[in-house]
Amino acid sequence: MLSGTNCMTDHRLTRRGFSAALLAAPAILKGKQSSTESRIKIDTERINGAIDPKIYGNFTEMLGRCIYGGIFEPGTPLADKEGYRKDVLKAVEDLHVTLLRWPGGNFSSNYNWRDGIGARDQRPPRLDLAWGTVDSNQFGTNEFLDYCELIKTEPYLCVNLGTGTWDEAQQWVEYCNFSGKSAVTELRRKSGREQPWGVKYWGLGNEMDGPWQMGHRSADDYGKFALEAAKMMKWTDPSIKLVAAGSSNFGPNADWVGWNRTVLSHLRDHVDYLSLHTYVGNAKNNFAEYMACPMEVVDRIKVAEGILRASLTGSKRKIYIAYDEWNVWYRARGEGKEKGRDILEEHYNLEDALVVAGLLNAFVNNAHIVKIANMAQLVNVIAPIFTNENGLFLQTIYYPLQLFASNSFGSSLELFVEGPTYATDRYTAVPYLDVSAALNDGTLVLNVVNRHPTDSLAATFELEDKQFSGSFEASEVNGPDTKAENNFQATPVKAQAKSAEASGTRLRHAFPPHSYTMLKGKLA
């Protein structure tokens, strides 16, 4: 169900509010209602932080048709000899996924990893209490990690700290990462894998603050329980990076700030990341409010950053934010829509793609603290890739993620942005142009979302300390209207090549209504 604001949604069935004080975004925003043109100043020495490529990650859960019928479909004409769908594999490779999370999500809170190893014909089918289906366990640890190697992405495993035990968590690390001989590593060798995979990223449970979660605990109980798991996991492999289950429940009776503070009081010396989860939507069909959703995500990032800084007082350690579940999700949710096989299958339109681009801007603009982000999910289930038995199509949200993941690297730049704004119920000044900038070895990438539904808006980019070298390439994601959707027959929303001209210290470009545009070029 939706929260009290137009765009923010919960993970399952509680209403979410958000009462933190408004905080400024990294770009310096100044409303200028009298002008329709924006002025954006760029100083290449004003750096927010290094952009970690892992903010372009994704998420796969044993849910609906994400794995079975999506990534993995053995015995069908579309699958390779290992059972992975070749058409999906190509689309995933083109998306440049940098970090892939598995097996959940809610599913992980009742998952025993031992059920998914060994000979497939001997693996036990289990009732999945999270999503109301029976999981065959035909896709398990080996299949997931082999798939990550195939698509050249970093794996991220989420352990069961719901119904699971410390031993289960520790021995999963041992199975995946220990090179010596033990009873656990012999199981790996019997499955045909001699050398360990060396999985670096591990989540300490999923959404443990949510009452919808199996094994839901209070913050104090979770912190104590996760601490012992963390110690045993790092004793097994000291090189791993651990993610604490941070805020997912923003309901009116939930103290998400207190949850994070308490969890960090137990785990600050053992974890490397704190997770945040946010889903957004437009159930009220209010375009202006919907476009402002990324500003609320920035608020949450800023509050969480303050909590992290406070928790680390007196420590030299660094803990970063892992936004390891985020996306648009509101149509395929609610009572009667979250149990069974063909569930959570959102069909996305152009306005969803613009919000996705805005959320990616939020991660880039906060690159100093957000070091992991995982769009949820990869195939079919609230996903950029959608399949049937004959093939696939790329949803509207595929294109902004692909453009960011292919181009926006290096340093995130702090920008001065001056231009027209509009008001919403929550914000007095929402910039019509939402902007981020990345600089990498002399290549400048500008990501611009025009939130105006009807007007083209021009902007002049002014370099303070360097000069443009000439022409810029432009990629524009747009469509005939904000409700345009892609399907198996047509792709009205996609990335199209454009051009932009720069001279000296200035680049001027007009951004069409309801569009996301990436500008990329060299600095002299």
Active site residues: 207, 325
CA-to-CA distance for 149 and 141, rounded, in angstroms?
12
Q: What does the block give as tokens for 14?
A: 């509680």
Please enumerate in sequence order all residues whose Cβ is within 8 A of that of 449, keeping only pairs 6 or more positions apart, or say none.
291, 354, 357, 358, 361, 433, 434, 435, 515, 516
Please enumerate in sequence order all residues whose Cβ is within 8 A of that of 241, keeping only pairs 6 or more positions apart, or say none.
200, 201, 202, 272, 273
Question: What one-letter code names the amino acid at 43?
Answer: D
Angle at 382 between CA 381 and CA 385, to 5 degrees: 75
Question: What one-letter code names the amino acid at 163?
Answer: T
Q: What does the block give as tokens for 336?
A: 């009667």
CA-to-CA distance for 7 and 293, rounded, in angstroms?
6
* Residue 110, φ and ψ in degrees, nearest 5: -140, 25
Q: What does the H/E/C string look like for 48-78?
A: EEEECHHHHEEECCCCCCCCECCCECCCCCC
Q: Do residues 495 and 399 lie in contact, with contact meaning Cβ atoms separated by under 8 Å? A: yes
| Tokens 């604001």 found at | 5
Question: What one-letter code names the amino acid at 126?
Answer: R
